[in-house]
Chain A
Amino acid sequence: VESKMADRESLPKLSGMSPPEGMGGGRCSEISTELIRSLTELQELEAVYERLCGEEKVVERELDALLEQQNTIESKMVTLHRLGPNLQLIEGDAKQLAGMINFTCNLAENVSSKVRQLDLAKNRLYQAIQRADDILDLKFCMDGVQTALRNEDYEQAAAHIHRYLCLDKSVIELSRQGKEGSMIDANLKLLQEAEQRLKAIVTEKFAIATKEGDLPQVERFFKIFPLLGLHEEGLSKFSEYLCKQVASKAEENLLLVLGTDMRDRRAAVIFADTLTLLFEGIARIVETHQPIVETYYGPGRLYTLITFLQVECDQQVEKVVDKFIKQRDYHQQFRHVQNNLMRNSTTEKIEPRELDPILTEVTLMNARSELYLRFLRKRISSDFEVGDSMASEEVKQEHQKCLDKLLNNCLLSCTMQELIGFYITMEEYFMRETVNKAVALDTYEKGQLTSSMVDDVFYIVKKCIGRALSSSSIDCLCAMINLATTELESDFRDVLCNKLRMGFPATTLQDIQRGVTSAVNIMHSSLQQGKFDTKGIESTDEAKLSFLVTLNNVEVCSENISTLKKTLESDCTKLFSQGIGGEQAQAKFDSCLSDLAAVSNKFRDLLQEGLTELNSTAIKPQVQPWINTFLSVSHNIEEEEFNDYEANDPWVQQFILNLEQQMAEFKASLSPVIYDSLTSLMTSLVAVELERVVLKSTFNRLGGLQFDKELRSLIAYLTTVTTWTIRDKFARLSQMATILNLERVTEILDYWGANSGPLTWRLTPAEVRQVLALRIDFRSEDIKRLRL
């Protein structure tokens, strides 16, 4: 055992490497020699021996495994030895390569430095040539200018000056310091003199050409200015010339206006036409001369030209507008209207019709201005865009700002805004007064549901908003929509409201007999005599008719407002697609339009109020007595009476007849929608009232059957007159009929609670008991005993 232990301990030293993990190597025996020595008992010794034997076996297995690896390790060593000389060879080669690379590198650097020197030399050479060229050019220019000036070939001269101006100033400076300095100095002096002379000549010739109105000459010299570096001057002089043209044409037109025959077809819009001519003239000028400006002055210069032109445009617009204000008495009319608009004003009212032409003209004037300004915006923006394609965002924004400022703050814009301000007030007056007239002249024609004022009022409102729309100004349009909303919401709604407030007159029995149809007749006859006056209604029939017509009017108003909103929406889509108005224009418009649409609901509310009033004053007082007759019909009947009822109906047929008669009258004079709502109210009323009388009656089995029949007839009839289902309204009554029809008290349980199936009980358990108690043949103890 000991020797094996020693073997095992020396094993790591032998192999020179630790055995792989997990094979049990490196693990000392758990049993020490001392332990063995201390053992005395045989049993213990045997046990230890056995364990040692086990350990020995493990150690042997590990040794075998290690010895097996010996071969592979040896073969690897041999390979390694063989590699030795090869490595030495490789080292030599690598050193050689490094040397070569070094050499090449040096060579390359040498070469490139020479190339650099060459390049530098070449550049200097070029510069020298350039300078020589420049100096030659300078001479050439000098000579050229002299010749060109002598030959009056100003284009050529300008081209030479342009060439000279393009020369690098430092080059010239350097040249002057050279040997030939004095000569160059002389040349330069001559050139500068020539430049000044040319400038003077061009300016003078241009002035002569403009004076003579010689367009080819004007354009000739206009093209020369930028060559001399006089862009601004050229543009300003040229626009001066153009402005003169605009002005003379505009004056001519204005004189024509003053001489226009008032019977002329376009006399009513002559100022709008004059403005149009002015704008078209300017637009034509811009269109004609834009290519020259672009070609000879470069992109981005159109703005300058138009800025000059706009000044003249503003002046001419001012003249036209002044004449317009004077000739059309615009300000006086406005002041007059303003006075009239103040409530309880005493001044004589302007006839709104008289305002009509002037309002149309103003909107037309504004529309033309908007069109013109839009034209300018488009042209200037696209011109800027070409020039700014490479520019920074700031430059672009700066240009945009300039453009906005030019177009928004020009006198034309401000003047038009002022005119439109006055226009709004006058249009408001026109609308209000015309609406008042339409209300005052309100007539009703037989066979119509509504009276004339509704159609008229909406025609007027549509016309006024349409006119505001035609001005192309979103602010103006929105303002007008707001004013129309106010007019409809307060003034016109008040008219209808007051009519409804007069109420549907409570009627005597005779009146009921005659019915509303006769009212229509009376109305018609009075109409023919031209006496009908809606304000002073004396006869009840007329009052009734007025009420019903007003109900129809209210409903049509509500509809018309919705239609108006939709129409305006589609009308404006086109306008917005042209980019009219600012960025917020659409939101502004939508906001105002939704206010208008909200008025539609106010009319609906009014209609509902009116219907409730009609129901409680016209229908309820009549329906109630008819239903009360139910109480006088006994439902405590025998077979014989039941059969008799079959032949001679005691109540329901007459009731249906009465209802039919009454509703027929309303059907004739109310629109289908209102009639529908009214029948709905009526059926609710019938259901509530009938329930009331049923609970006051008593029944036996046959009486219950009779009631069931009656109710069924009633429901069948009402279903034919209403478009919506009335079953729901009669659900409680139907359930009461079911209860009154029972054989026994306990039969209710077949329909109650878990047995109710799809039936939803609308009656509470207490009500069920109450209805059961109406059956005189049911014992109250049975009813009490029911568990519901």
Chain B
Amino acid sequence: TPVPDALDSSDAGGSRVVLVSMVIAAPDPGFAQLPNSPLVGPTGHSGRMKSSLTPLGPPVSRDRIITSFPKWYTPHACLQLKEHFHGQVSSTCQSRNTGTVGLRLSKVVVVGDLYVGKTSLIHRFCKNVFDRDYKATIGVDFEIERFEIAGIPYSLQIWDTAGQEKFKCIASAYYRGAQVIITAFDLTDVQTLEHTRQWLEDALRENEPGSCFVFLVGTKKDLLSGAACEQAEMEAVRLANEMQAEYWSVSAKTGENVKAFFSRVAALAFEQSVLQDLERRSSARLQVGDGDLIRMEGSPAETQESKTSSSLGCC
């Protein structure tokens, strides 16, 4: 077995033994057994199989179909100013030559202080509900949202993390591999805006530099008057520029901008995925071109052909 547990082989070096004893110091497995407990009574074994969730399912709902490139919220803080899909991307999509991008998921991580409304934002988008009852998220929640972008199926995997300090340990384990980081703050609470800097830093630490799109999202827009909102937005836009993030104001309660925001997130992530895929394919092709690194040979046709070619050489 590639992962052997026979670490205590007798001919191991002395220093080895230290490590082995250290690793094997776990209590014996009998500790974990619960014989004759009422907790695992006769009903303890009944259970139903859960079907695994695949990104391929029923057709994408109509309001998840994105045909034209979604626009930014404010030109003063946005990741891209262009109004159409990247030329290469739209042509690739038209020729349905997107390879495996359609089967891929983009990981979106939502971070921010507690009670700013991360879960509400996600629930408004994914389930179109708004629950007034505040219930703190424990650990992490998770939603998969399917889109069809420029005719290609695409999914966002939205990880909703806990804002409470005590769950930070577990939540931060989920930051890795994110394509999009959404830092949320409460428009009515300037403190939460200040904290986004720290949240972003934590999330970026677990990811490769420059690999993530960053969004700064102000929530609870409905609670502010026009003027107050503008004031808050100005602050936020300034910070967004510092963080190299795109800024959005939303309200999960009224649903304002929620769909537009996630469409923008999905489109940007999708475009990047397609471009990355194209790049990888072209570099892979180059490698095959200058050759001979690893090429699968010995397909029947090829073998036969090379045999005949060498037999011809005999004459």
| Those of A424-456 within 8 Å (CB) of chain B | 424-425, 428, 434, 437-438, 441, 443, 445, 452, 455-456
CB distance from B73 to the nearest CB of A (A): 29
Are B293 and A681 in contact, with the CB atoms below 8 A?
yes
CA distance A420 to B171 in the complex (A): 11
9-residue interface stretch from A184-192, A313-321, A573-581: A573-581
CB distance from A92 to the nearest CB of B (A): 73
A305 at interface by CB-CB < 8 Å: no
Inter-chain contacts of A738 with B (CB < 8 A):
312-313, 315
| Those of A389-416 within 8 Å (CB) of chain B | 408-409, 413-414
Are A459 and B3 in contact, with the CB atoms below 8 A?
yes
CA distance A688 to B18 in the complex (A): 51
Are B166 and A478 in contact, with the CB atoms below 8 A?
no
Known A-B contacts A276-B37, A424-B169; the reply to A360 vs B306 at CB < 8 A is: no
Contact of B139 among A417, A559, A578 (CB under 8 A): A417
Give the one of B3, B4, B293, B298 with max A CB within 10 A.
B3
Contact with B along A349-383 (1 / 0, CB 8 A): 00011001100100010011001100100100000
Known A-B contacts A284-B38, A421-B168; the reply to A578 vs B31 at CB < 8 A is: no
Known A-B contacts A269-B27, A352-B22, A360-B27; the reply to A413 vs B3 at CB < 8 A is: no
Are A455 and B7 in contact, with the CB atoms below 8 A?
yes
CA distance A579 to B306 in the complex (A): 56
CB distance from A270 to the nearest CB of B (A): 11
Inter-chain contacts of A421 with B (CB < 8 A):
139, 166-170
A588 at interface by CB-CB < 8 Å: yes
Are B310 and A727 in contact, with the CB atoms below 8 A?
yes
CA distance A357 to B25 in the complex (A): 8
Give the one of B4, B15, B310 with max A CB within 10 A.
B310
Known A-B contacts A458-B3, A758-B308; the reply to A425 vs B31 at CB < 8 A is: no
Are B34 and A276 in contact, with the CB atoms below 8 A?
yes
CA distance A734 to B314 in the complex (A): 10
A339 at interface by CB-CB < 8 Å: no
B144 at interface by CB-CB < 8 Å: yes
Contact with A along B13-45 (1 / 0, CB 8 A): 111101100110111000110100111110110
CA distance A568 to B120 in the complex (A): 33
9-residue interface stretch from A232-240, A242-250, A482-490, A629-637: A482-490
Inter-chain contacts of B167 with A (CB < 8 A):
417-418, 421
- Which residue of the partner chain A has the closest CB to B49? A577
- Which residue of the partner chain B has the closest CB to A285? B38
Are A725 and B297 in contact, with the CB atoms below 8 A?
yes
CB distance from A553 to the nearest CB of B (A): 11
Inter-chain contacts of A486 with B (CB < 8 A):
176, 206
CA distance A586 to B114 in the complex (A): 26
Are B1 and A371 in contact, with the CB atoms below 8 A?
no
CB distance from A496 to the nearest CB of B (A): 15
CA distance A563 to B1 in the complex (A): 9
Known A-B contacts A708-B313, A735-B309; the reply to A725 vs B50 at CB < 8 A is: no
Are B170 and A475 in contact, with the CB atoms below 8 A?
yes
A587 at interface by CB-CB < 8 Å: yes
CA distance A266 to B27 in the complex (A): 9
Known A-B contacts A441-B18, A608-B294, A727-B306; the reply to A584 vs B169 at CB < 8 A is: no
Are B23 and A751 in contact, with the CB atoms below 8 A?
no
Contact of A456 among B14, B23, B135, B174 (CB under 8 A): B23
Are B4 and A460 in contact, with the CB atoms below 8 A?
no
The A contact surface, by secondary structure, is helix
Inter-chain contacts of B303 with A (CB < 8 A):
725, 727
Inter-chain contacts of B168 with A (CB < 8 A):
421
Known A-B contacts A470-B32, A677-B294; the reply to A560 vs B170 at CB < 8 A is: no
CA distance A727 to B138 in the complex (A): 61
Contact of A587 among B3, B52, B140 (CB under 8 A): B52
Are B32 and A483 in contact, with the CB atoms below 8 A?
no
CA distance A284 to B31 in the complex (A): 21
CA distance A564 to B4 in the complex (A): 11
A462 at interface by CB-CB < 8 Å: yes
CA distance A577 to B15 in the complex (A): 43
Known A-B contacts A276-B34, A441-B16, A459-B4; the reply to A590 vs B52 at CB < 8 A is: yes
A728 at interface by CB-CB < 8 Å: yes
B105 at interface by CB-CB < 8 Å: yes
Are A356 and B309 in contact, with the CB atoms below 8 A?
no
CA distance A612 to B12 in the complex (A): 33
Contact of B31 among A352, A360, A378, A438 (CB under 8 A): A360
Are B312 and A280 in contact, with the CB atoms below 8 A?
no
Are B38 and A269 in contact, with the CB atoms below 8 A?
no
Inter-chain contacts of A162 with B (CB < 8 A):
none
Are B32 and A367 in contact, with the CB atoms below 8 A?
yes
Inter-chain contacts of A675 with B (CB < 8 A):
none
A698 at interface by CB-CB < 8 Å: no
A724 at interface by CB-CB < 8 Å: yes
CB distance from B298 to the nearest CB of A (A): 5
The 6 A-B pairs of least Cβ separation, nearest first, read A479-B173, A727-B306, A684-B292, A283-B38, A475-B139, A587-B53
Q: Name 20 A/B residue pairs within 8 A (Cβ), A-sorted.
A: A269-B31, A280-B39, A287-B38, A417-B138, A418-B166, A422-B169, A441-B16, A456-B19, A459-B3, A459-B5, A475-B138, A475-B170, A482-B173, A482-B174, A563-B2, A576-B50, A587-B52, A590-B53, A591-B157, A759-B305
Given contacts A372-B39, A475-B170, A479-B140, 19 further A-B contacts (CB under 8 A): A287-B38, A353-B22, A356-B22, A417-B138, A421-B168, A434-B22, A437-B22, A463-B26, A476-B139, A479-B170, A479-B174, A480-B173, A485-B176, A486-B206, A584-B144, A727-B306, A734-B309, A738-B315, A760-B309
**Chain A residues packing against B (C-beta within 8 Å):** 266, 268-269, 272, 276, 279-280, 283-284, 287, 352-353, 356-357, 360, 364, 367-368, 371-372, 375, 378, 408-409, 413-414, 417-418, 420-422, 424-425, 428, 434, 437-438, 441, 443, 445, 452, 455-456, 458-460, 462-463, 467, 470, 475-476, 478-480, 482-483, 485-486, 527, 530, 556, 559-560, 563-564, 576-579, 582-588, 590-591, 595, 608, 612, 677, 680-681, 684, 688, 708, 715, 724-725, 727-731, 734-735, 737-738, 741, 751, 757-760
